[in-house]
A = this chain, B = another copy of it.
Amino acid sequence: MVRTTSQNQARGTARLRLINTRLVLTTLRGVGGPVQLTELARMTSLTRPTVAQIVAGLEERGRLQRYEPTAAAGRPAVRYGLAQDAAAVFGADAGRHRAVVEIASLDATIRARQERRHSHPLGDTLLALLGEMLRECLAEAGLAPGAVVAGTMASPGIVEQPSGRITLRPGLGDWDGTRIGSALGPHIGGAVTVENDANLAARAMCAVSGMPRTFLSLQWGQRLGAGVVVDGQVYRGPSGAAGELGALVVPDPATGELGLLEEVVRASRLPLVGGVPRVSTEELVARAEAGDEPSAGALRRGVDPLAAAVAPICLSLDLRTVTISGAIARSGPALIRAFQDRLDAHGAVDVDCLLSPFHEDTVLRGAVGNAVDAGWEWLLADADQVVAAPGRAR
């Protein structure tokens, strides 16, 4: 997540206007819909003439748009909101078997969506497919390429910013931020950012109502990743490797030998712990769900290594909430209960676990959210131009 907010080198009172312009736009984003000038003035604690002047500038530039008055006591107020065609963004998630692309406007409304099954490794062929999907999304939404001002693409592996270098586990394929950017960038009118899928899942969970400002988000399936959200922001770490828990060395409850956490808690390996490898993970969970105590015990032993790793994180950050997304999130409450039980056993008491409400689209939701953030950054930077515009004074 890039946070430049270059704040432009406006001088003197022009800087004040710049600050206030950003304040107005940010407030408008918080509301989500058209607002009356008076209301906007109240929320920003600016005066009405000031807000009116700022809004007029933004309207002239085509970023804001008038909405017809609604009935009310007193003179009906003109309302202003984001212009329909102010800007759009795209989000994309491409895994080993499935690719999804969505286009959204800055209020996070989905304007178009494309989804495909495929079997390409992460690489140029897949990028070409994504480019095609992106073009179809543009057509579906009826947007010119230039209207899409930002996009975020999810990738597994460690994504280093700003270099764009991506460290993938062997076998997944091979790409990096530069190649992704040059493959998808030409289809739109802005920059493409790439971000780790677990971090994006965490970003998605930020938007769920009732979430605390700090939590841990587990992306758990065949691979294992985590996103750390601190004070409402996904924390990436100096090289983007925050949350890469998979590399932990832990004892395997099935064999007693040391192994990597990612492999030990791989979804498909959970039944091994119970000593019943013929049973699928779904089946194991279903039995536990049905009250079969041996299955529930096996499940608890299976998730224990991850709980042992997560417990110190919970205590160190005073976390109350851990979210779970990824393939294993299909398992439902039995898994949650087992995991919560083990967290408790390791000393992380009173931690709530909850499943992502977005199911398979969690990462995509995060990518779109990230892109919307980037779109707003673009809009703010664009608004700075209004301030700097010559001939604004009359």
Q: Which residues of A contact B (CB under 8 A)?
A: 9, 11, 13, 15-16, 19, 45, 47, 212-214, 216, 226, 228, 230-231, 235-245, 247-250, 260-261, 309-313, 315-320, 345-348
For the A-B complex with A11-B45, A245-B312 known, give 20 more contacts whose Cβ atoms are closer than 8 Å: A11-B47, A13-B16, A15-B16, A16-B16, A212-B238, A213-B238, A228-B316, A228-B317, A231-B235, A237-B317, A238-B320, A243-B316, A247-B315, A248-B312, A248-B347, A248-B348, A249-B345, A249-B347, A250-B347, A312-B313
Interface pair B214/A316, CB less than 8 Å apart: no
Contact of A346 among B236, B249, B319, B346 (CB under 8 A): B249
CB nearest neighbor in B for A261: B347
Q: Are B248 and A346 in contact (CB under 8 A)?
A: yes
Q: How far is the CB of A40 from chain B (nearest CB, A)?
A: 16
With a cutoff of 8 Å between Cβ atoms, the chain B residues found around residue A13 in the complex are 13, 16
When chains A and B are docked, how far (Å) is the Cα of A311 from the Cα of B318? 17
Structural contact, B347 and A317, CB atoms closer than 8 A: no
Residues A9 and B316 in contact in the complex (CB < 8 Å), given A212-B238, A235-B230, A347-B248: no
Most chain B Cβ neighbours within 10 Å, of A13, A19, A238, A347: A347
User: What residues on B are CB-neighbors of A15 within 8 Å?
Assistant: 16
> What B residues does A239 contact at CB under 8 A?
318
Known: A235-B230, A347-B260. Contact between A316 and B313, CB under 8 A? yes
CA distance A315 to B250 in the complex (A): 13
Could you say which residues of chain B place their CB within 8 Å of the CB of A214? 237-238
Which chain B residue lies CB-closest to A230? B230
A108 to B317 Cα, complex, angstroms:
29
List 29 A–B pairs whose Cβ atoms lie within 8 Å, in order of A's numbering. A13-B13, A15-B16, A16-B16, A19-B19, A212-B238, A213-B238, A214-B237, A230-B230, A235-B317, A236-B318, A237-B319, A238-B318, A240-B318, A241-B315, A242-B316, A242-B318, A243-B315, A244-B315, A245-B315, A248-B346, A248-B347, A248-B348, A249-B311, A249-B346, A250-B346, A260-B347, A261-B347, A312-B312, A312-B313
Tell me which of B250, B311, B316, B347 contacts A226 (CB under 8 A): B316
Q: Is the CB–CB distance between A312 and B310 below 8 Å?
A: yes
With both beta carbons as reference points, the residue of chain B lying nearest to A212 in the complex is identified as B238
Q: In the bound complex, how far is the Cα of B310 from the Cα of A240, in angstroms?
A: 19
Q: How long is the Cα–Cα vector from A30 to B318 in the complex, in angstroms?
A: 32
Docked Cα-Cα span, A345 to B250, in Å, equals 9
For the complex, give the distance between the alpha carbons of A212 and B312 in Å.
22
Shortest CB distance A45–B (Å): 7
Q: In whole angstroms, what is the CA distance A343 to B15 when docked?
A: 49
A226–B237 CA distance with the chains assembled, in angstroms: 19
Contact residues in B for A309 (Cβ distance below 8 Å): 312
A243 cross-chain contacts in B, Cβ below 8 A = 315-316, 318
Chain B residues in 8 Å Cβ range of A213: 238
Q: What is the chain B residue whose CB lies nearest that of A312? A: B309
CB distance from A180 to the nearest CB of B (A): 22
A316 to B239, alpha carbons, bound, how many Å?
Answer: 12
